Structure 1
Amino acid sequence: MDFTFTDDELAFREAISRFLMTEAAPEALREIWETDSGRSPDLRNKMAEQGLTALSIPESAGGLEMGDVVWSLMTQELGYYGIPDSLSDTAYVAAGLISNLPDTVAEKATWLEQICDGSLRVAVGHPVNPLVADAHMADLILLANGDEVHAVPRAKIEVEHNPSIDSSRRLMRVMWETDSSTLVAAGDEGRKLWQQTLDRGALSAAGQLLGLAQRMLDLSVDYAAQRKQFGKPIGSFQAVKHHLADVAGKIEFAKPVLYRAAYSLQQGDSDASMHVSQARLACGEAALLAGRHGIQVHGAMGYTWEVDLQMFMKRSWALESSWGDRIFHKSRVSDFVLAEGAALGPGQTFGRS
């Protein structure tokens, strides 16, 4: 079996990376953070022009109809460049939920078309997240009331800003009243949609954490090559090399776990939720280690506003509690592993016996 990415997938990732390298330099990000909204409509429109908002949209609505595996690559790029925009919440998490709504929802096709062209910003208020990212700018907010899924227009909610250690995040506490006119799914159907949404959100967070880990490692390597002590670059000292090598190892071990989870989710595997939690844990551990060792390499100056490391380190800390914290995901993995007759061992990889 061939588990490598296609040339088209890798080429698309490379094109997005080159685009974000130009449009989302750290200096530009700092300027965006200091605006009232903390968001750049211009950057969002440019990302839509690059096709990012169309990735998950069905071809019938003008999209590219790509799956979770491609998003496991794209979210790494969003994390690597610290994009101050909940793009994946709209274009991946919300788009997936809306695509799976019953066809009886009259606005479904319109919403998908508007996400595709970048004109609709959607925020997702899953019960696992007490705060909703970017609700202050969203045109539509998907909210839960038990197993019910409600699509609520911005005019029907009130928001209260909640500060974050990460200046790029805009977290809101949402107040709203349930209304039958906003109900789009309920019962078993609603429960299934929220479960799928949780898995997509956790997979998105995992991909961003892995991208953040790689960026923090790259910054630490560059700094270690330039900073000198006793007349030598600190990167030549064995202790520093070991720190950076430990991070590189964590990242490389986390990648296949992320891709396995994306493949499992895309194929509708019955164990997809467990695989997603594995990926969330592995990528989170890589990001935490990258931040900790990055600070040790940079010294105390790594916390300061002028140094780029702090931007990505704080974002990784904030994402750690998004779409389920470590206790939540460890519980999902342990429930699977400790279950009677659990399908464990290399013979179960990708369903092979």
Structure 2
Amino acid sequence: MEFAFTEDQIAITQAAREMLIDTCTPADLRKMLTTGQARDEARWATIKEMGLLGLMAPESAGGLGMGLTDFVGVAEAAGYVGLPEPLVEHAGIAVPLLAALGENDRLVEAIDGHTVALGYPGRAFVADADTAVALLLSDGDTLHLLETAAVELSRQKSIDPFRRLYSVDWTPSAATRRDGGWSDIMDRGAVLAAAQLIGLAQRSIDLAVAYAKERTQFGKPIGSYQAVKHLIATAQVKIEFARPVVYAAAAELALGTLPAKARVSHAKIAAGDAADLATRTAVQVHGAMGVTWEVDLHFFLKRAQALRFDWGTPAQHRARVMERMLNAPTGPDQSFASEVAA
């Protein structure tokens, strides 16, 4: 199996990453906290102009017709900056789902920037429901599409101040029900959450490295001490081992087999563990300052804590990895889901 991104995929990711780093700085995040705004309209307009909202929409609807491997790097970049806007769930999950459901009018609106929020099975609250024009909600395993104006929203607390969570009071009906279930959607969400966790982990370590170069103790930068170097290096190694697992999960998801689904779970577990270690390590490197809101690290720490338990808990994903280990061949010749399927 050839396992490498194409030049076009790399270019898309790089362009998105540069734009997000320029427009979504920690200073921008602090400004949003002060004003209480749900999104930065200028940044959202730029995201739309770059075509990121329609990246995974069919060309017949005005999208670019690309797949999950094209979008996974964008999700990682969104995690790296702690993006407040719902780019990943909207463009990476809601848009392709609307296309699959044949909701063409709503799909065109979604590509134009009118967001659709998601309330999947197991998620008690819906993120960014207040700025969405429609909601895709679950009633058990069934899928329902409703106008936001037709439901009642109640704001809920979140560890991450940029995750605007809402409970939704609504009534399922035959008119709101749509064909299809949540299984594939849950897997797509888990892969993209894992990609964001990789970005969050890397940003945390980058902040720790920068601080270790500047902070002096006993007349020397603390980064020159071996104990600090080892802390940071251990976390970076964990990120480097998790990142290709996430990319593999994105590439293999379309197979729909048990090994491919287990790869999704492996990616979510590995990325979550890497983000947990990276953020905790970064706090430790910052010392007493690390536990205060004055340190930008907290934007990424809190997002990582939230995403680690979103789109399936670690326990749920471990159970699926165990199912794959017990029911499909293992060994060095069965590394990829495509090999097991064959």
TM-score using structure 1 length: 0.92
Q: Which sits farther off after the overlay, 300-309 or 265-274?
A: 265-274
| Residue 16 of structure 2: aligned partner | 16
Which SS does the other structure have where 1:149 is aligned? strand
Superimposed CA distance per residue, residues 215-253 of structure 1 (whole angstroms, 9 cap, x where no aligned partner): 000000010011001111100101100001101100110
| Residue 238 of structure 1: aligned partner | 226
Which SS does the other structure have where 1:85 is aligned? coil
| Residue 167 of structure 2: aligned partner | 173
Mapped contact 1:141–1:154 kept (Cα < 8 A): yes
Mapped contact 2:258–2:324 kept (Cα < 8 A): no
Using the alignment, how far apart are the partners of 1:300 and 1:38 within structure 2?
31
| Residue 262 of structure 1: aligned partner | 250
Mapped contact 2:155–2:166 kept (Cα < 8 A): yes
Q: Equivalent residues in 2 for 1:87-236 (5 A)? A: 87-101=87-101, 103=102, 108-118=103-113, 120-185=114-179, 190-191=180-181, 194-236=182-224
| Residue 30 of structure 1: aligned partner | 30
Q: Equivalent residues in 2 for 1:45-56 (5 A)? A: 45-56=45-56
Which SS does the other structure have where 1:323 is aligned? coil
User: Aligned pair count?
Assistant: 339
1:112 deviates by 1.8
Using the alignment, how far apart are the partners of 2:29 and 2:160 within structure 1?
12
1:38 deviates by 2.7
1:58 deviates by 0.5
| Residue 57 of structure 1: aligned partner | 57
Which SS does the other structure have where 2:166 is aligned? strand
Superimposed CA distance per residue, residues 129-175 of structure 1 (whole angstroms, 9 cap, x where no aligned partner): 11110111110100112332111001111111111111111111111
Using the alignment, how far apart are the partners of 1:347 and 1:312 within structure 2?
38
One-letter code aligned to 2:335: T
| Residue 348 of structure 1: aligned partner | 334
Using the alignment, how far apart are the partners of 2:321 and 2:35 within structure 1?
41
Mapped contact 2:153–2:168 kept (Cα < 8 A): yes
Mapped contact 1:140–1:151 kept (Cα < 8 A): yes
Superimposed CA distance per residue, residues 16-74 of structure 1 (whole angstroms, 9 cap, x where no aligned partner): 11111111111111112333443223321211111110111001111111111122211
Q: Equivalent residues in 2 for 1:63-82 (5 A)? A: 63-82=63-82
1:7 deviates by 0.9
Residues 1:4 and 2:4 are matched in the alignment = yes
Mapped contact 1:257–1:279 kept (Cα < 8 A): yes
- The percent identity for this pair of structures is 44
Q: Which sits farther off after the overlay, 92-101 or 245-254?
A: 92-101
Using the alignment, how far apart are the partners of 1:69 and 1:285 within structure 2?
22
Q: Which sits farther off after the overlay, 172-181 or 210-219?
A: 172-181
Q: Equivalent residues in 2 for 1:256-295 (5 A)? A: 256-295=244-283
1:267 deviates by 4.1
Mapped contact 1:220–1:294 kept (Cα < 8 A): yes
| Residue 316 of structure 2: aligned partner | 328
Q: Which sits farther off after the overlay, 322-331 or 229-238?
A: 322-331
> Which structure 2 residue ranges, 5 or more long, are not aligned?
none
Which SS does the other structure have where 2:129 is aligned? coil
1:260 deviates by 0.9
Using the alignment, how far apart are the partners of 1:145 and 1:293 within structure 2?
40
One-letter code aligned to 1:284: G
1:269 deviates by 4.2
Which SS does the other structure have where 2:175 is aligned? helix
One-letter code aligned to 1:312: F
Using the alignment, how far apart are the partners of 2:115 and 2:219 within structure 1?
52
Using the alignment, how far apart are the partners of 2:27 and 2:121 within structure 1?
35
Superimposed CA distance per residue, residues 100-124 of structure 1 (whole angstroms, 9 cap, x where no aligned partner): 22x4xxxx11122222222x20101
Which SS does the other structure have where 1:34 is aligned? helix
Which SS does the other structure have where 2:316 is aligned? helix
Mapped contact 2:121–2:141 kept (Cα < 8 A): no
> Which structure 1 residue ranges, 5 or more long, are not aligned?
none
TM-score using structure 2 length: 0.95
